Amino acid sequence: MSSKKQIKRKLYPKGSAKKALKSLKETGLSPEIDLRAEFDDFVFGGPTSISHGRRLLLRKARRDDNNKIVHCACVDKVTREPDTERSCPYCLGEGFYWDEEWVVGYATYVGADGGLANRIKTLAPGSIRADTRIFYMRFDTDITYKDKIVDLKLDTEGEPIVPYIRESIYKPQTIVKYRSDNGRIEYIAVYCREEDAIRVDD
């Protein structure tokens, strides 16, 4: 038998499960953290933390009363393709009318090889590096696969430069509504392929 003492840690450090449930009934307070509140504190800032989020533009496809996308007048009636050669001044080649609104979120990169941290590594022959940009947004953000996320040029303090300059436009590849407490949405993650991003300067 080993001479070392085994240290057992309680599942509920501040008391038993029975005590935790009793506390919930008496006070209405749960020992579980509120992910919505934690997300807001991290992104927007709170009593003990500064804001880690950034301002983004959410380009939303305009829809009619039947929730159908309103196509631009430049869309060809036969091919159903937008006029991309003359750069339509109304839809900018999207093929439908849209509106932009401010949202605040947190963005990061991730990749199969570890993301940007491993870009200095040489890839094996035949391998392709495909980075993904993930935008984390508040649980009540209304975003669909027809919408776009627009990255703006920021100054050194993190504020958008005025007049506003659009740097990159991202198309959602996967939208995940992360759920926890009783199935409610805690936050939303939007995955976008970096290689598919539109560089406005191009």
Q: What is the pLDDT of residues 161-186, one digit of tens each?
A: 999 999 999 999 999 999 987 889 99
Bond into 89 cis (ω within 30): no
Find out whether 167 and 200 touch, Cβ atoms under 8 Å: yes
pLDDT reading at 191 higher than 50 = yes
* Mean pLDDT, residues 116-138 taken together: 69
- pLDDT score at 132: 87
The pTM of this model reads 0.73
Question: 125: pLDDT confidence band, cut at 50, 70 and 90?
Answer: low
Can you give the length of the chain in residues? 202
Longest dimension (CA), the chain: 83
Strand partners, 99: 60
Find out whether 175 and 190 touch, Cβ atoms under 8 Å: yes
Which stretch of 30-34, 111-115, 155-159 has the lowest confidence by average pLDDT?
Answer: 111-115
Question: 198: pLDDT confidence band, cut at 50, 70 and 90?
Answer: confident
Q: HEC string of 8-30?
A: CCCCCCCCCHHHHHHHHHHHCCC
Instruction: Kindly report the number of other CB atoms within 10 A of residue 148's CB atom.
Output: 20
- pLDDT score at 202: 52
pLDDT reading at 139 higher than 80 = yes
CA distance 131 to 114: 9
- pLDDT score at 169: 93
CA distance 190 to 182: 22
Question: 128: pLDDT confidence band, cut at 50, 70 and 90?
Answer: low
- pLDDT score at 194: 85
Higher pLDDT, 138 or 46: 138
Domains and CATH numbers, the chain: 32-56+100-117+131-202 (2.40.10), 63-96 (no CATH)
Question: 100: pLDDT confidence band, cut at 50, 70 and 90?
Answer: very high
Strand partners, 46: 49
- pLDDT score at 11: 43
- pLDDT score at 14: 47
- pLDDT score at 96: 92
* Mean pLDDT, residues 24-45 taken together: 78
